[in-house]
Amino acid sequence: MKLKLSEVTKRFDGHLVLDGISLALEKVHTLVLIGPSGGGKSTLLRIIAGLEYPDSGEVVIDDETVQFQEAALLQHRRTIGTVFQAFNLFPHLTALQNITLPLEKVHQHSPKEAEEIARQFLARFRLENHASKRPAELSGGQRQRVAIARAVSIKPKLLLFDEPTSALDPEMTAEVLDMIRELREEGRDFILVTHEMGFARQVADQVALLADGRIVEAGAVAQVFENPSSAASRDFLSKVLKY
């Protein structure tokens, strides 16, 4: 993908969350956003997804400028698969129904087509035996795998992951990270927000470190992790890589 962010700014209740974010990447498969909590990573991801409006600035993906008007955003959101840290599954629907619902209602597949696609992805992510279970009957790792299957099933041009393992224990975290690695190996383009530094180093083509609403470091993995140029980057990485 090509990604260009130009002076993206966002405030909530007068509080500056994104302070003129700019970034230009000509060709990247996996961009990982890291940085301290509250630095603006999730807000930036939601703006790229078209789920939040920036106060100012521009987002361009593959040479197409995201138009922050509701009619245009509806189309944009159809091309983006987003996975949240809290799963965002419908609690009253089964795993199968959580996947078929957007396929039918948003992407206009027939019920039969939607079920065929959903079962294909449930099998792909080793969830076929859990198709009739509701989220409360699934483990955290299984719930997140259903959420990932739902995101991938719409054939998005870009996948966004917002702290997909933050609510999981270590075993389930490994299970979900294995799935994300598989998607990367398939050549899918995605942006990942994570605190899993070891995983970030493994899968990223490019890394951007956000702190206090600004990108304080951006570049290739080796550059950012092994030779950070900013004091804020060195301070953050010295803490998270200490143990």
pLDDT at 243: 67
CA distances from 203 to 33, 139, 183, 239 (A): 12, 25, 10, 21
Burial level of 233, CB count in 10 A (0-12/13-18/19+)? buried
pLDDT at 173: 86
CA separation for the pair 224, 234 (Å, rounded): 9
Q: Identify which of 99, 90, 139 has the alpha carbon closest to the alpha carbon of residue 119.
A: 99
Alpha helices (H) along 84-169: 95-105, 111-124, 140-153
pLDDT at 92: 96
Give the pLDDT of the chain (243 residues) as one tens digit per residue.
999 999 999 999 999 999 999 999 998 999 999 999 999 999 999 999 999 999 999 999 999 999 999 999 999 999 999 998 888 899 999 999 999 999 999 999 999 999 999 999 999 999 999 999 999 999 988 999 999 999 999 999 999 999 988 878 888 888 888 889 899 988 899 999 998 898 999 899 999 999 999 999 999 999 999 999 988 899 999 888 876
pLDDT at 114: 97
Count of CA atoms in the C-beta half-sphere (13 A) of 226: 5
Domains of the chain and any CATH numbers? 3-79+157-240 (3.40.50.300), 91-156 (no CATH)
Triad 220, 82, 203: Cα angle to 5°: 25
pTM: 0.93
Number of neighbours of residue 125 by Cβ within 10 angstroms: 19
